[in-house]
Amino acid sequence: MKIQSTDALLVIDVQNDFCPPVDGVGGALAVTGGDAIVPIINRLAQRFEHVILTQDWHPAGHISFASSHPGKRPFETTEVAYGTQTLWPDHCVQGTPGADLHPGLSIPHAELILRKGFRREIDSYSAFLEDDHTTPTGLASYLRERGLQRLFLCGLAYDFCVRFSAIDGTAAGFECIVIEDATRGVDLPGSIEETTTALATAGISKIVSERIESSC
């Protein structure tokens, strides 16, 4: 599959808190093998003219934190105004080292870093919409203004932010392709299987990084 001038690589939330800790930094919500995809993403990014990064950017006391709900524990759920919310350990808090992009990530030509999840009372898995499924992040408009049409998605985590970004991107009219070997899942009970089914239902294809060729 050759990369076109209207393609973009969308790198989702490759941040310290989603990777195993290094020297005590990060790991608050570590995805198993999350750091293993960093070299793959770096190599991929060199093939793309257009690269966009996303960054979870939560205020302290965010609605998605179990610590904000007395009596609740991480990975339990609760009902909020926009539906069922999975509760997480405190992670990617604004201005903390855990919220920083992974230090091994090397994509100096990235054109945009989109921060999401910064509204205290609403979570944001998707790069396109907050979890109320109506509040836009502005990414769709950015892509349209740039004439970008096809998105290759990678990053963390497959069964949450990559999943919902791909589904919402497809619904917004973009062709979305998930790069299988450049993503990893949180892997809550059933979440990987549900994601694979949801992507297939939405007509979203998957590919391995070796099959993506630069147009040059």
Residue 206 falls in the annotated catalytic set: no
Between helices 191-201 and 163-171, what is the axis angle to 10°? 20
Residue 201 CB neighbours (<10 A): 9
Are the beta carbons of 177 and 154 closer than 8 angstroms?
Answer: no
**Catalytic-residue membership of 131:** no
Told to judge if 23 belongs to the known catalytic residues of this protein, a careful annotator would answer no
In this structure, the number of other CB atoms found within 10 A of the CB of residue 126 comes to: 27
CA 135 to chain centre: 17
Choice among 7, 19, 116, 154 that is catalytic: 116
Catalytic residue among 7, 13, 90, 123: 13
- Which of 7, 161, 168, 176 is labelled catalytic? 161
Question: Which region holds residue 61: left if phi is over 0, alpha if psi is between -120 and 50, else beta?
Answer: left
Length of the chain, please? 216
Residues labelled catalytic: 13, 116, 161
